Amino acid sequence: MVSTDPDALKTYGSSPNSYHPESPHSVVVHATSTEDVVKIVNVARKYRIPVVAYSGATSLEGHFSGEVPGSICLDLSGMDKIIDINEADGDLTCQSGARWEDINQALKDQGIPLFFPLDPGPGATIGGMIGTGCSGTNAVRYGTARAEWFLNVTVVLPNGRVIKTRRRARKSSAGIDTTKLFIGAEGTLGIVTEATLRLAPVVPTKVAMAQFPDVGHAVSAVQEILNTPHGPHIQCVELLDDHMMAAINAAGLVSKAYPVRDTLFFKLQGTPAAMKEAAGAVQKIVKAHGSDRFEFAQTDQEAAELWENRKYALTSTITSGGEDAKVWTTDVCVPVSKLPQLVYETKKDLAEANLRSTIVGHVGDGNFHALIIFKTDEELQRVSDAVHRLVHRAIAMDGTCTGEHGVGVGKKEYLVEELGVETVELMRTVKRAVDPLNIMNPTKLYPDPKDEDDKNSH
């Protein structure tokens, strides 16, 4: 199906989750098979037209905007079939438009005690998750979108050929890992149409919560917990700062209000006995790091209620901003030991810029998001400036401009500063070799030469 309806073109070229300039595509084409994708890529190559993959549309850095006049938006969200489940081997093959939540629901519905543990935004798809190199709350236990979780991918290359990067074996050292090439490539090297995912066993979980006098104490507790033999029982550990706890209390979406303190929410996993033991160890450690309040949910109902605090973080922040408030979600990551300093400096900076914000952090990985509230264009400009300062601060701490959301258009100006000219040039060399006509999502990921000139002149 093909659409040139102006409203559709606008929708497909913009995102309610991103405040980068919007630009419509010239046409939207809906694909349902690898063969469809090949046909579209062949047309794009023949007429030198940019083609931009679009799947769950939950990415946050302007990843799928039109940018270049004449672009084709290739909607893969209809390619959402699960093709094969190999329960005994613990893997599943699907089309790239399948959503991670639907995959997990399908496994549950079929009584298969396995799941796919990467958990980015609601509605995200396997293709987009590969494209952005995503992760989420489970990363502390299960890691990020790396080739360990993608046993192989089927890709339509810019030359129209179809490749499958590996077979279904759990591991392989058959040369360069070409699956990796497409992870974090943001649709600039090829369009993923199918993938085989490694699955993990579903393990019983329980939720715990601890409150701290400040972020520094909370982070040092997390570092100690993860380095004990109980570390592998921690599935998630999320930091919600005092502003976030205030916003959650005010929004009233959760069953119980908590004191406005910097707070950690844990998901523990294992057998009931192992979780009980781990919870005891966690309680001891958080207490030694200044926590005066620890709760361990005894029932599934209590666990669900406690975790609702994490679940409603974004909604509560938006609500706290009042009518017409919008939220810019930042994403940087630093070595965990640097996280408290980064959080303190950022909160001070945001306060000085007269901006309201909350913080939620995948604290076990040193990754955090400041959710900055704005209403007017003038405030938006101040937010954008504050984000710029935050990114520089994170890179100066040996961190990264993006822990999980990817580069899109929003972060490409920082790549040379973070990675160096030669590393970025290696990325470009790969891009030029695979896509010499630059038809796949041009203008995303790779820095503009202007950004590099600016960097070199410093």
Ligand X SMILES: Cc1cc2nc3c(=O)[nH]c(=O)nc-3n(C[C@H](O)[C@H](O)[C@H](O)COP(=O)(O)OP(=O)(O)OC[C@H]3O[C@@H](n4cnc5c(N)ncnc54)[C@H](O)[C@@H]3O)c2cc1C
The stretch near ligand X (CB under 6 A) out of 6-14, 41-49, 133-141, 254-262 is 133-141
Q: Does 404 bind ligand X (CB under 6 A)?
A: yes
Q: Does 52 bind ligand X (CB under 6 A)?
A: yes
Counted residue by residue, the chain has a size of 458
Nearer to ligand X, 133 or 270 (CB): 133
State in angstroms the smallest separation of the CB of 125 from ligand X: 4
Q: Does 412 bind ligand X (CB under 6 A)?
A: no
Residues 266-305 as x/- pattern, contact with ligand X by CB under 6 A: ----------------------------------------
Residue at 413: amino acid letter: E
Q: Which of residues 422-451 bind ligand X (CB under 6 A)?
A: 441, 444
State in angstroms the smallest separation of the CB of 63 from ligand X: 3
The dihedral over CA atoms of 210, 215, 219, 222, expressed in degrees to the nearest 10, equals 10
Nearer to ligand X, 121 or 410 (CB): 121
CA distance 431 to 14: 25
Residue nearest to ligand X (CB): 128
At which residue do the structure tokens 């908590």 appear?
258
Residue at 397: amino acid letter: M
- Report how far Cα 13 is from the mean position of its chain's Cα atoms: 20
- Report how far Cα 41 is from the mean position of its chain's Cα atoms: 27
CA distance 28 to 310: 36
The stretch near ligand X (CB under 6 A) out of 5-13, 123-131, 344-352, 392-400 is 123-131
Nearer to ligand X, 58 or 205 (CB): 58
Between the alpha carbon of residue 188 and those of residues 139, 256, 405, the distances in Å are: 25, 46, 16
The residue within the footprint of ligand X, chosen from 261, 267, 338, 405 (CB under 6 A), is: 405
**Token digits of residue 240:** 């919600």
Q: Does 50 bind ligand X (CB under 6 A)?
A: no
**Token digits of residue 299:** 């029932």
Nearer to ligand X, 340 or 410 (CB): 410
The residue within the footprint of ligand X, chosen from 23, 125, 165, 316 (CB under 6 A), is: 125
> Site for ligand X (CB under 6 A): how many residues?
36
CB 61 within 8 A of CB 402: yes
DSSP letters for 254-308: SSS---SSEEEEEEEES-HHHHHHHHHHHHHHHHHTT--EEEE--SHHHHHHHHH
Helix ranges, 328-435 (H): 339-352, 377-396, 415-419, 421-434
Q: Which of residues 8-27 bind ligand X (CB under 6 A)?
A: 17
Nearest to 364 by CA among 266, 431, 286, 271: 266
The residue within the footprint of ligand X, chosen from 11, 23, 34, 58 (CB under 6 A), is: 58
Nearest to 320 by CA among 244, 376, 257, 242: 244
Q: Does 134 bind ligand X (CB under 6 A)?
A: yes
Q: Which of residues 153-192 bind ligand X (CB under 6 A)?
A: 186-187, 191-192
State in angstroms the smallest separation of the CB of 74 from ligand X: 8
Q: Does 54 bind ligand X (CB under 6 A)?
A: yes
DSSP letters for 51-98: EEEESS---SSSTT---STTPEEEE-TT---EEEEETTTTEEEEETT-
CB 215 within 8 A of CB 239: yes
Nearer to ligand X, 270 or 410 (CB): 410
The stretch near ligand X (CB under 6 A) out of 50-58, 171-179, 217-225, 377-385 is 50-58
Nearer to ligand X, 94 or 355 (CB): 94
The residue within the footprint of ligand X, chosen from 306, 313, 314, 372 (CB under 6 A), is: 314
Residue 36 CB partners (closer than 8 Å, separation 6+) = none
Residue 305 CB partners (closer than 8 Å, separation 6+) = 254, 255, 256, 297
Nearest to 145 by CA among 90, 198, 99, 72: 198
Q: Which of residues 321-360 bind ligand X (CB under 6 A)?
A: none
At which residue do the structure tokens 């009518």 appear?
323
Nearer to ligand X, 220 or 330 (CB): 330
Q: Name the packing angle between helices 339-352 and 377-396 (round to 10°).
A: 150
Q: Does 56 bind ligand X (CB under 6 A)?
A: yes
Nearer to ligand X, 406 or 410 (CB): 406
Q: Does 131 bind ligand X (CB under 6 A)?
A: yes
Q: Does 129 bind ligand X (CB under 6 A)?
A: yes
State in angstroms the smallest separation of the CB of 296 from ligand X: 24
Q: Which of residues 200-259 bind ligand X (CB under 6 A)?
A: none
State in angstroms the smallest separation of the CB of 39 from ligand X: 16
Tell me which residues touch ligand X (CB under 6 A): 17, 52-60, 63-64, 76, 96, 120-121, 124-125, 127-129, 131-132, 134-136, 186-187, 191-192, 314, 404-406, 441, 444
